[in-house]
Amino acid sequence: MLLEKANQLLNENKLKEAEFHFKTILDSDPENGEALFGLGRIALRLERYDAAVYLLQRACERLPHMLEPLHALADAFNGVHSPQDALTVLEYAKSIASHNPEPHYYLAQHYLTYGELDKAYSILKHALGMGNYPVTAYILFEIVQFGRFNNEQNYINELHQFLTLTNNLRLKMVCYYALGKSYDQLNDTEQAFNYFSLANKLQTKLTQFKTRDLVPFYQRIIEQNTAELIDARDKTFTGTITPIFIIGMPRSGSTLVEQMLASHNDFASLGEDASISNQVVAYLEQQTQLPYPDCLAELNQGLINNARNIYIERIKQAPVVRPFMINKLPANYQSLGLIYLLFPNAKFINMQREYDAIAWSVFSNYFAENEPYFCSLPEFKQYFDLYQQLMEHWQNVMPEAVFYLSYEALISDSEQTLTALCKFLNIEYSTQFLDFYKSKKPVATLSKTAVRQPLTDKALEKYKRYESAMHTLMRESQTSSTSQQTDQNAPVGE
């Protein structure tokens, strides 16, 4: 009963309560593998990877035939930058469940992350022959992303067959995204758009808020980050490390630029690191007893120094520390003022891309997070507008710190664009930047396959095949929204 309650609390993300229950179990039964597994998962969510490795190793010893603790242990090893240990664990999981496609899928994901595309593809193909399991939907989805099929040999029949076998909303949604990608690859744009639309509609049902709910939050960011506040930063601050933040909208090319910069000897990357919002902001909120961004009004030098040290400690945890440390979490644009106060030497690269190209890429890709702007064109337009308004504010109060980098210019005139970026970063341009695709550094974003290929202009105009359908969908959505508002405001008849 206590274990069931602890797992329920963990599923609800009530980590402190769940931790208390798991520890209570261990007080009376120190060898309880399930409780150790629970504590290991909590450590993973809190990014306490060393603790996670210790707890999950103990859990795996006591639950030797369970796959979930092994997969979690592999994640923990990756968290402490031990990919070879993670690979060993995943290979072992596959060996003890050789006829189960799930450990094959996790092993393939590891190879994808580290750029071993052929190995990943081979494992996924092998796993597909093991029958239909819930993970089969994800296996099919990943196989389709490779684009290694044609009109005669593809996975459309397998996807349709799987759809007849499941009523699970998320699995259906994943299959619809894969079907959209398949028909897109086969140049059947009508069918592709239909399946992407179905996928977005299903995922929208899983969202729990509307983008308009974010409007007051963005307004407070603008109100709190005054020109006076930003100008009060310590302009004499110098650091041995220059923090680089690549920001912007999703699918705007941030992973590409990160990989380009990280191919240079003076750069290293934290990936999409959320420690600013998860740790730095949490510290300031706790100290001031005010939510972000209202807590900015209470900043003093002591708080700034402590908050800065939190991020510096995060940088020190990177496998390699270089003079330029990249953080490519696009949503960090919400915290530019705070970051600039902590690190007046920070550099911000704001990725720019044609709106329709971004909107299409978001609409046609599966984001695991059930956020409305990732699965609805009207919601994404609202989100984009909020982003634009906030970036205009940052341009007004800290113009010297932000470089606007055009994805289209990067593709069409890469050397000139990168030279301008290097001037902004006060470094010399190097041809190393264009060798990004040769790297085996981990990439876990949606671009993990694309950035393993040389620079190409294939994606520049791909969205144009869908412009008309996108605009039609937007008009229909706006008409529907207007009609609903009219109906709600109409007088009630007698």
Q: Are residues 339 and 196 in the same domain?
A: no
| 494 in any annotated domain | no
Q: Are residues 227 and 375 in the same domain?
A: yes
Please give the helix or strand (H or E) that residue 73 lies within, else none: helix 67-79
| 493 in any annotated domain | no
What is the C-alpha separation between 449 and 466, in angstroms, rounded? Answer: 23
What is the C-alpha separation between 342 and 272, in angstroms, rounded? Answer: 19
Are the C-beta atoms of 339 and 318 separated by less than 8 Å? Answer: no
* DSSP helix/strand/coil, 130: coil
Per-residue model confidence (pLDDT) at position 481: 57
Domain count, the chain: 3
Q: Are residues 301 and 362 in the same domain?
A: yes
The encoded tokens of residue 184 equal 């897109």
Per-residue model confidence (pLDDT) at position 1: 80
Q: Are residues 169 and 216 in the same domain?
A: no
Q: Are residues 44 and 159 in the same domain?
A: no
Could you tell me which of 459, 468, 380 has the C-alpha nearest to residue 190?
A: 468
What is the C-alpha separation between 44 and 52, in angstroms, rounded? Answer: 6
Q: Are residues 69 and 125 in the same domain?
A: no
Could you tell me which of 317, 334, 327, 314 has the C-alpha nearest to residue 243?
A: 327
Q: Are residues 103 and 190 in the same domain?
A: yes
Tell me, what CATH number does 113's domain have?
1.25.40.10
Point out the domain boundary residue: 169, 185, 206.
206
| 484 in any annotated domain | no
Question: 3-state SS of 360-401?
Answer: HHHHCCCCCCCCHHHCCHHHHHHHHHHHHHHHHHHHHHCHHH
| 79 in any annotated domain | yes
The parent domain of residue 6 ranges over 1-97
| 174 in any annotated domain | yes
Per-residue model confidence (pLDDT) at position 475: 87
Tell me, what CATH number does 267's domain have?
3.40.50.300
For the chain (494 residues), the mean pLDDT of every run of 10, in chain order, is 92 94 95 96 93 97 96 96 96 96 97 93 96 96 93 92 95 97 95 97 94 97 97 93 96 93 93 94 97 96 97 93 96 97 97 95 92 94 97 97 96 95 95 84 76 79 91 81 51 40
Residue type present at position 375: C
Point out the domain boundary residue: 97, 121, 137.
97
Are the C-beta atoms of 374 and 362 separated by less than 8 Å? Answer: yes
Looking at residue 328, the DSSP 8-state letter turns out to be -
Q: Are residues 103 and 73 in the same domain?
A: no
Q: How far is CA 322 from CA 267, 268, 327, 398, 467, in A?
A: 5, 6, 13, 25, 42
Q: Are residues 348 and 450 in the same domain?
A: yes
Number of Cβ atoms within 10 Å of the Cβ of 216 = 9
Q: Are residues 390 and 285 in the same domain?
A: yes
- Single pTM value for the model: 0.89
| 430 in any annotated domain | yes
| 429 in any annotated domain | yes
Point out the domain boundary residue: 191, 206, 221.
206
Q: Are residues 265 and 370 in the same domain?
A: yes
| 343 in any annotated domain | yes
Number of Cβ atoms within 10 Å of the Cβ of 59 = 25
What is the C-alpha separation between 7 and 37, in angstroms, rounded? Answer: 10
Q: Are residues 366 and 230 in the same domain?
A: yes
